[in-house]
Amino acid sequence: MKIYFHYDLNNHDFLSSLILNQYIFDNKHELYTNKFPNNFFKNNKENYLSYGAGHTVYYKLDDQLKKNIKLLKDNEIEARISDKYFDFIVFLNPDTKKLLSNDELYFFSKLERVYKKDEIVIIDGHDHQDVNVTLAKKVRYFKRELIEKYKNYCEPISFSFPSYYSPITETKEPNVLKDNIFNSKNTKKYNILAPNDPRFANSYIYEDEKKYYEQYSRSLFATTTRKGGWDCLRHYEILKNNCLPFFPNIEEKPRLTMVNYPVKLQKEVNSFFKNFILHDDTYFIEYNNLNKQFNHHVSSKIGLKKIQSASYFDKYENLLSEFINWFDEYGYSGSYSYKLKL
């Protein structure tokens, strides 16, 4: 298939990066774009299109994979659309209001004349829950933060972890930069709760990717929450590092957002964490007041000794095993090719 990926540089996001990254890595189709994603590749330390200090998604692919996607000029794009050279057109996190504005209407009108609805795809990775229904009726519309109101116009889609780090591809030649950034599953746990806490800005102290992952792999639990939206790359980063997520208020998550996320299992983990940790003043005096002293409470030798006792440890290991099994099946970006059906 010949697939054209259209970047809106003002609205680029992790979800768009994960999807395009996966298609480049798979190398199963002819890929074209209006903006070359240099920051996907290991020897290109450019600042544009990078978020989260570039962790997880950026600067991983080997430079030899650059040949898997071709940059086109505007006049080339327009000509190939007129000739229906591409099999699919994919808009990556566009400004959906602008797409139907006077400035863009001519371009989109031409698409509609040449392409069928199922051949035009929009990836909406915005944090908000709103959907431009007028546009959604004209295309296949994938919405990250999908709610019931728009279920007849959109399909759900979620974040993931890059598949070149999945168990399936780890044993193959990965064509990515392997820096041994993940610790083994047997890494010793030093913290009950990982230092990085999304509720508190002063815990965002990890610019080094290996150290960022390490603080998860050396912890029993890590807090993750809804911020701009419910879905977040952090959920998957925690699990990839063999750490259990503590996700307050997960029961409030809309059904169609993070549609495959194991809510029942997460509630069980939350309950285990609360019963073991939050109700015991020896370990966490005031979990909700960690803002200025998050480092003071994350480590407790007494708490670690207690959880490593037979009854607690077995429960922890069982919960972690269940979550990792789910993650291995649903948590990697290889699922996008099946989801999008391009």
Q: What is the mean pLDDT of residues 87-95?
A: 91
Instruction: Please indicate, yes or no, whether residues 84 and 181 belong to a single structural domain of this protein.
Output: no
Look at 237-246, 263-272, 293-302 and tell me which has the smallest mean pLDDT.
Answer: 293-302
Instruction: Please indicate, yes or no, whether residues 230 and 145 belong to a single structural domain of this protein.
Output: no
Can you give the pLDDT at residue 20?
96
- Which has the higher per-residue pLDDT, 299 or 272? 272
Instruction: Please indicate, yes or no, whether residues 149 and 63 belong to a single structural domain of this protein.
Output: yes
Q: What is the mean pLDDT of the chain?
A: 83
Instruction: Please indicate, yes or no, whether residues 171 and 306 belong to a single structural domain of this protein.
Output: yes
Q: Is 342 inside any structural domain?
A: no
Can you give the pLDDT at residue 326?
97
Of 157, 174, 207, which residue sits at a domain end? Answer: 157
Can you give the pLDDT at residue 250?
97
Instruction: Please indicate, yes or no, whether residues 321 and 207 belong to a single structural domain of this protein.
Output: yes
Quickly state the pLDDT bin for 48 (edges 50, 70, 90).
Answer: low
Instruction: Please indicate, yes or no, whether residues 209 and 113 belong to a single structural domain of this protein.
Output: no
pLDDT tens digit string along 152-182?
999 999 999 999 888 766 545 555 545 556 6
Structure tokens at 68: 């898997």
Boundaries of domain holding 121: 2-157
Q: Is 61 inside any structural domain?
A: yes
Of 100, 130, 157, which residue sits at a domain end? Answer: 157
Can you give the pLDDT at residue 294?
40
Quickly state the pLDDT bin for 105 (edges 50, 70, 90).
Answer: low
Distance CA 188, CA 215 (A): 11
Instruction: Please indicate, yes or no, whether residues 141 and 273 belong to a single structural domain of this protein.
Output: no
Q: What is the mean pLDDT of residues 207-229?
A: 91
pLDDT tens digit string along 279-337?
554 444 344 444 334 444 444 444 555 565 656 778 889 999 999 999 999 999 999 98
Of 157, 186, 204, which residue sits at a domain end? Answer: 157
Instruction: Please indicate, yes or no, whether residues 82 and 173 belong to a single structural domain of this protein.
Output: no
Look at 11-20, 236-245, 328-337 and tell me which has the smallest mean pLDDT.
Answer: 11-20
pLDDT at 121 over 90: yes
Q: How many domains does the chain have?
A: 2
Q: Is 242 inside any structural domain?
A: yes
Instruction: Please indicate, yes or no, whether residues 105 and 48 belong to a single structural domain of this protein.
Output: yes
Spatial CA neighbour of 187 closest among 320, 315, 289, 77: 320
Look at 50-59, 142-151, 211-220 and tell me which has the smallest mean pLDDT.
Answer: 50-59
Can you give the pLDDT at residue 332?
95
pLDDT tens digit string along 176-199?
545 556 665 667 887 888 988 888
Q: Is 338 inside any structural domain?
A: no
Instruction: Please indicate, yes or no, whether residues 184 and 231 belong to a single structural domain of this protein.
Output: yes
Q: Is 150 inside any structural domain?
A: yes
Please return the burial class of 95, using the count of CB atoms within 10 Å of its CB with bins 0-12, 13-18 and 19+.
middle
Look at 43-57, 87-101, 251-265 and tell me which has the smallest mean pLDDT.
Answer: 43-57
Can you give the pLDDT at residue 307?
60
Q: What is the mean pLDDT of residues 9-20?
A: 84
Q: Is 273 inside any structural domain?
A: yes
Spatial CA neighbour of 256 closest among 339, 333, 155: 155
Q: Is 261 inside any structural domain?
A: yes
Can you give the pLDDT at residue 216?
94
Record the pTM. 0.87
72 CB-near residues (< 8 Å, 6+ apart): 4, 32, 33, 34, 80
- Containing H/E element for 226? none
Instruction: Please indicate, yes or no, whether residues 226 and 97 belong to a single structural domain of this protein.
Output: no
Give the Å distances, CA to CA, from 237 to 94, 150, 207. Answer: 26, 29, 15
Spatial CA neighbour of 36 closest among 2, 62, 67, 78: 67
Q: Is 43 inside any structural domain?
A: yes
Can you give the pLDDT at residue 296?
40
Instruction: Please indicate, yes or no, whether residues 191 and 211 belong to a single structural domain of this protein.
Output: yes
Look at 44-53, 123-132, 226-235, 319-328 and tell me which has the smallest mean pLDDT.
Answer: 44-53
Burial 61-82 (b: 16+ CB within 10 A, else e): bbeebbebbeebeeeebeeebe
Structure tokens at 132: 């431009």
Can you give the pLDDT at residue 292?
39
